[in-house]
Amino acid sequence: MAVKHETQINSEIRDPEVRVVGSDGAQLGIMSSRAANELAEKEGLDLVKISPSAVPPVCKIMDYGKYLFDKTKKEKEQRKNQKIVLLKEVQLSMTIEQHDIDIKAKNATKFLLNGDKVKVSIRMSGRQQAYSDRGIETENTFAESLSEIAVIEKPAKVEGRHIIMILAPKNAKK
C-alpha cells in the first residue's frame, strides 16, 4: 500500500508559471515549471510545491525525502507532548458515611493529581428520588473535601436517576 502525499513534486507540477525559491532560501523569481524542474535536477534536488494556493504557486528546491522525514518527526514530537485527559468516575451513595467519603476522596485525589478529571455520581433508587437534594448535598460535601486540589467544572445536577458532578484538577493548564 503506497502512501499518498498531497504535495506535488517534480513532474507532477503542471502550472505554466511558478515562483521559485532556491535551496538556500533565495528568491529565484517567476519561471515556467519545466525550467524550475531542470534547475532542481541540476542541483540534484526536488522541486516541491509548498504554497499551491498562491498566484503564481510557490515552489521550493529541496530534498523531498528529508522534508518528509522532518515533517513526520515534527508531528511525532507534537503527539508525544499531548496530554490526554481521562474522565475517571467515583460512585457515591445517598447514605454514605463520612469515613467512606474520605476513602473515595483519597481515590479521587490520585486521579486529580494524575491530571485526570473526576465524575462524581450517585444513583438514586426508589424513594431516594424524592430526596435528590440530600444527594446534591453529599456531592457538595465530597467536593469541599477536595477543594485544595480540585475545582468544580460542572456542579451537581440531577439527570434522571443520577446526580452527576465533574471535578477538574486546579493546576490544569488551559
- pLDDT reported for residue 5: 55
Q: 163: pLDDT confidence band, cut at 50, 70 and 90?
A: very high
- pLDDT reported for residue 174: 46
Which CATH superfamily, name and number, covers 87-169? Translation initiation factor 3 (IF-3), C-terminal domain (3.30.110.10)
What is the mean predicted confidence (pLDDT) over 13-36?
A: 87
Q: Where in the chain is the domain with CATH 3.10.20.80?
A: 10-76
What is the mean predicted confidence (pLDDT) over 142-166?
A: 92
Q: Where in the chain is the domain with CATH 3.30.110.10?
A: 87-169
Class of domain 10-76: alpha beta
What proportions of the chain, in percent to the nearest 5, are helix, strand and coil?
A: 40, 30, 30
- pLDDT reported for residue 149: 92
Identify the sign of the CA torsion 65, 67, 68, 70. positive
pLDDT above 70: percentage of residues in the chain:
95
Which residue is it, cell 516541491?
A: 48
Q: How far lies 61's CA from each of 19, 44, 47, 90, in Å?
A: 11, 9, 5, 57
* Lowest-confidence region among 4-8, 107-111, 129-133, 147-151: 4-8
From edge to edge, which strands make up the β-sheet containing 150-159?
Answer: 87-92, 117-123, 162-169, 150-159
What is the mean predicted confidence (pLDDT) over 10-35?
A: 86
Please say whether the beta carbons of 110 and 148 come within 8 A: no
Name the pTM for this structure. 0.53
Segment 29-82, tens digit of pLDDT: 898 888 888 888 888 888 888 888 888 889 999 988 888 888 899 888 888 877
Calculate the dihedral angle through the C-alpha atoms of 26, 31, 37, 40, rounding to the nearest 10 degrees: -20
